[in-house]
Each structure stands twice: as structure tokens, then as C-alpha cells.
Amino acid sequence: MLTRQIRMPVNPQVLIKYPAIRAVRAGVLEKECQKLEKRAVRAEQKAHKTEEMYRQAQFKVQNTEDSFNQLMHMHRQALAQLENAKDSISSLKVDLNEARNGDWYFWDFVGELRCGICNQDLDGAYSLTCGDTFHGSGSKRLSENTWSTRP
């Protein structure tokens, strides 16, 4: 069964005459105040929690932005390295074609002058032959070499 509470305005003179009514009314008001205080505390806690979540979200956004910027920097570096690699490949293709034509010498890793075709140690003997190909005309070709490890 549903009950309905009807609030009737209380005359202040009645409260003065009947202290029990005043005490009941004060008790009800006190309970209401306590409820409101609890709600206020919960609302404040919720507000702090929301603020903290907002700060964390901002921090994550900043980290994401920083990560994105780092990735873009790495991407630009990789593109530059790719471009350098393409240039190196082009240069190597030219050198390979020169080597196939017998116009190429290089210093190997132990510092010996070798033919780019037969890998024969030349050691300053620029008149050696590589099969039917003449090994060289000396210092001119050596100075044009792009692979030399010596100055």
C-alpha cells in the first residue's frame, strides 16, 4: 500500500509551544543535512576523480603526440637513408659497369691493390693482363677509383 506524506506548514508559534515537534523537526533536518553532506562529499570525490582522469587523458594525448612526432622523425630519417641507398646503388652500378669494362681497381680490406675483374693482386704492376684485357695505364685509373680505402 502506498502512503502519502503530506507536509503541512508549521507555524513558528506551534514550535515554541511544543518542543517535541521542534525536536522532531530538528532531527529530520539534521538527517537531511547529513544526507546532503554525504552527497556533497561523493560529488566532490567524483569531481576529483574526473579531474584526475582528464589529466591522465591529457598526459596520454601528449605521450601519443610525442610518439607520433618521434615516428615521423624516424620516418623522415628512413626516407633520407633510402634516398642515400638509391644513390649508392646507382653509383655502384656505374662502378660495376666500369669493372666489367676493365676500367676499375680497388683496394681490398688488407690494403692491396686488386683488379676489379679477376681479383688479382696488382701491387703496382700496372702492365699485368687480365685474360685478354690489359690491366691498366697506371696512376690515372687508380686516382679515379671510388673504392680506394687509402687517401
pLDDT the model gives residue 142: 42
pLDDT given for residue 127 in this prediction = 43
Alpha-helix runs per DSSP H in the chain: 12-17, 19-100, 139-143
In b/e form, how buried is each residue of 96-110, taking b as 16+ CB within 10 angstroms?
Answer: eebbeebbbbbeeee
3-state class of 41 per DSSP?
helix
**Intervals of the chain under pLDDT 50:** 1, 107-109, 125-151
Q: Using the structure block, give the residue that is written with the C-alpha cell 624516424.
A: 74
For residue 112, what pLDDT is reported?
Answer: 63
Query: What pLDDT does residue 149 have?
Result: 42
pLDDT of residue 151: 40
Domain boundaries, the chain: 11-100, 102-151
Burial of 15 (0-12, 13-18, 19+ CB in 10 A): middle
